[in-house]
Amino acid sequence: MRHDTLSAARAVCGVLGLALAAATGVRADVPTIFRDADLAQGEKLIQQHRCAQCHAEKVGGDGSAIYRPLGRINTPGLLRGMVEQCNSMLNLQLWPEEVTAVAAVLNRDHYRFKQD
Q: Report the distance separating Cα 93 and Cα 90, nearest Å.
A: 8
pLDDT, tens only, 47-91 = 999 999 999 998 888 888 888 666 789 999 999 999 999 999 999
| Sequence ranges of the domains in the chain | 1-30, 32-111
User: What is the pLDDT confidence band of residue 22, given thresholds at 50, 70 and 90?
Assistant: very low
List Cα–Cα distances, 29 to 42, 51, 64, 102, in angstroms.
18, 26, 24, 18
- Output 22 or 5, whichever has higher pLDDT: 5
Residue 42 contacts residue 105 (beta carbons within 8 Å): yes
- Please provide the average confidence, as pLDDT, over all residues in the chain: 82
pLDDT, tens only, 97-110 = 999 999 999 999 98
Question: Which letter does DSSP use for residue 70 in this model?
Answer: T
pLDDT at residue 23 is higher than 70 = no
Residue 110 contacts residue 69 (beta carbons within 8 Å): no
Q: Report the distance separating Cα 79 and Cα 20, nearest Å.
A: 28
pLDDT at residue 1 is higher than 80 = no
Angle (deg, nearest 10), helices 96-106 and 39-48: 90
- ∠ CA(62), CA(37), CA(98), 5° rounding? 65
Q: Report the distance separating Cα 94 and Cα 66, nearest Å.
A: 21
Q: Note the pLDDT of residue 21.
A: 45
Q: Report the distance separating Cα 37 and Cα 34, nearest Å.
A: 5
Q: What is the pTM of this model?
A: 0.74
